[in-house]
Amino acid sequence: MADLESLIQKCTSFSHIKQLQAYFFTTGNFQSCRTRSKLLDLCAIAPFGSLSFAISIFRQIRTPFTNDFNAIIRGLVQSPEPTAAFAWYRTMQRGSFRVDALTCSFTLKACARVLAATEARQLHANIMRLGFMADALLGTTLLNVYAKVGDLGRARKVFDEMPQRDIASWNSLIFGLAQGNQASEALELFKRMEVEGLKPNEVTVLGVLSACSHLGDFKEGEKIHLFIRNEKLDLNVQVCNALIDMYANCGFVDKAYGVFDDMGCRKCLVTWNTMIMAFAMDGNGLKALQLFQQMDGARVQPDSVTYLAVLCACNHAGLVEDGVRLFNTMGKHGVKPNMKHYGSVVDLLGRAGRLKEAYNIINSMPMVPDVVLWQSLLGACRIYKDVEMAEIASRNLVEMGSNNCGDFVLLSNVYAAHERWNDVGRVRDSMKKRDVKKVPGFSYIEVDGLRHKFFTGDKSNAKWKEIYSKLDEIRFRIKELGYVAETSFVLHDIGEEEKENQLCHHSEKLAVAFGLISTSEGTPIQVIKNLRICVDCHVVIKLISKIYERQIIVRDRVRFHKFKDGFCSCRDYW
């Protein structure tokens, strides 16, 4: 037996596997020798093996062992058809073959690959029935599947019920929470690691930096950066890339660039792309262009992501000619423009008021334009109040089956700007017929480690009376500076005073007012919003930053707005 095992270990080619298979048959060991499972395993997963040949060998076994099944299931998990593993697992159950922890583990990995939530739940039930939940490795694999399919409730339950947890189980859940819009919970889990005596590794900090990035939690991100430095985890390029992304998403592009600069020659293409996109979000188009030009000297070839990042930078900074030039020269680096590149250029031209050029690019595309392109054009029509072009864009969106509330709202905005209230009503009726649900705008702010979320007109906060009182004070003080409410986009044929009242209670204004009453003088205020900041809120927050001498950072759906001394970093171009 030992000789057979040593022979299997020495296999270095498919011909060796075939010779061994022949040897098993001629010596009469094939039907009874348990070592054949190792031959199947080698044949199913080795780079020089053949899964189909392994299956043909398996078919010749009269009474397969559990390990024989495991070898095939493991091979299928790594194959282009991982779902076939489910059928083999069911065959074992129906044929009364013994399923062990490895069988379940391999089949769970197939679930993870194809995001098979139903099969994962069925396997979970079998694992509990078979008494395998005490297996820490199997529990971690199950947790990882639930995290990947987005079933975070079950993932958390598996985690809490695990008799023994290790760093891998922590990492799986942290990543799942960070990617599944439960970033706060991911950070809490990270903090529990110290309590339970588990030391974070590179994988852990990647997950928790992703959570900080999503939340815009700069303070927690800085603590993690300190830990990374102390543990010398910043030698890992992926960790550095995640740090750049975290700082960029928190609005601290200078700190992001500090990490980028410290990397020296360890930068990879992803590093350059992340930093260029950081400058894009910050509205620093010139710095993004400069970095793009430096790539050539660093002998780094730009790819489609690089071009998308630098086009976004030109877009946010209003560098129209630079953006058009870069778009037209993409082919020089062998990069073929895709839908996102066309979308960025259409948005670039549209924001600059060159609506006909944007429309012509859409019509000249080698592929069918998608919904996003028409939405970009419609958004530009809202800025420049172009009814004719807005109707063209809207008609195309309807024909494409778009049921996005934002499309209808943008068209309504254009009509409202021209006081065409009958048309506004017609759009609203169309929304009702199509059962279009408006996405509620919300903003949140963190004060003393607690997150406070606000919706428009919200009165759920314990300090709502103080917040509204502060808004009244703000309203009075900004009017002394000549503020006039931007009411042209309020979608109702109502009086100016009522329109102004509606604008006064937008979610970002509530969040900023809460920040003013809850933090000491001179403390920066940071707000995150799920939609684009509106024109009136932008004007008001600029004035607030001047009157109250506060730096206010607002991260909306697209970019950062850094308000200071009555000015915004976007230079009123967004």
Chain position carrying tokens 């350059």:
272
Taking alpha carbons only, the member of 88, 86, 105 closest to residue 40 is 88
Retrieve residue 403's tokens. Answer: 């049921």
Measured CA to CA, the distance from residue 190 to residue 146 in angstroms comes to: 19
In the β-sheet with 560-564, what is the strand arrangement from edge to edge? 450-455, 442-447, 525-529, 552-555, 560-564, 567-568
Helices (H) and strands (E) in the chain, counts: 30, 6
Is residue 280 within 8 Å of 288, Cβ to Cβ? yes
Average pLDDT of span 551-565 = 91
| Residues 199-228, mean pLDDT to the nearest whole number | 91
- Whether the pLDDT of residue 526 is over 60: the answer is yes
- SS3 labels along 187-229: HHHHHHHHHCCCCCCHHHHHHHHHHHHHHCCHHHHHHHHHHHH
Own/partner long-range contacts of 138-141 (Cβ < 8 Å, ≥24 apart):
138/101, 138/104, 138/105, 138/108, 139/169, 140/166, 140/168, 140/169, 140/172, 141/105, 141/108, 141/109, 141/112
Q: Going by C-beta distance under 8 Å and a sequence separation of 6 or more, which residues neighbour residue 432?
A: none
Produce one character per residue of 389-404: b if its CB has 16 or more CB atoms within 10 Å, e if not: bbbbbbebbbeeebee
- What pLDDT does residue 195 have? 81
Query: What is the pLDDT, as a whole number, of residue 187?
Result: 87
383 pLDDT higher than 60: yes
Confidence of residue 493 (pLDDT cuts 50, 70, 90): very low
Percent of the chain whose pLDDT exceeds 70? 95
430 CB neighbour count, 10 Å cutoff: 15
The answer on pLDDT for 273 being more than 70 is yes
Extents of the domains making up the chain: 351-439, 443-568
Q: Which residue has the higher pLDDT, 44 or 542?
A: 542
Q: How far is CA 2 from CA 5, 29, 34, 67, 242, in A?
A: 5, 13, 12, 18, 48
Please tell me whether residue 560 adopts helix, strand or coil conformation: strand
Quote the CA–CA distance of 213 and 178 in Å, as a whole number.
Answer: 9
Residue 500 has pLDDT above 70, yes or no: no
Q: Using 50, 70 and 90 to split pLDDT, how confident is the model at 501? A: low
SS3 96: coil
- Residue 189 CB-half CA count within 13 A: 30
Residue 571's Cβ-count burial label (10 Å; 0-12, 13-18, 19+) is: exposed
Residue 515 scores a pLDDT above 90: yes
Give dist(CA 323, CA 351) in Å, integer. 12
- Whole-number pLDDT of residue 319: 95
Residue of higher predicted confidence among 428 and 514 = 514
Per-residue pLDDT tens over the stretch 93-102: 998 899 999 9
Alpha carbon distance 362, 337 (integer Å):
13
pLDDT of amino acid 494? 44
**What is the reported pLDDT for 487?**
64
Task: State both tokens at 562.
Answer: 């850094």
pLDDT of residue 390: 92
Q: Would the CA dihedral through 215, 220, 226, 228 be positive or negative?
A: negative
Q: Which of 1-5, 7-11, 524-528, 553-557 has the lowest mean pLDDT?
A: 1-5
Q: From 273, 377, 254, 320, select the one nearest 573 (Cα to Cα).
A: 320
Count of Cβ atoms closer than 10 Å to residue 88 Cβ? 20
pLDDT at residue 495 greater than cutoff 50: no
Q: What is the DSSP letter of 534?
A: P
Q: Span 294-305, mean pLDDT?
A: 94
Q: pLDDT digit string (tens) for 530-557?
A: 988 988 999 999 999 999 999 999 999 8
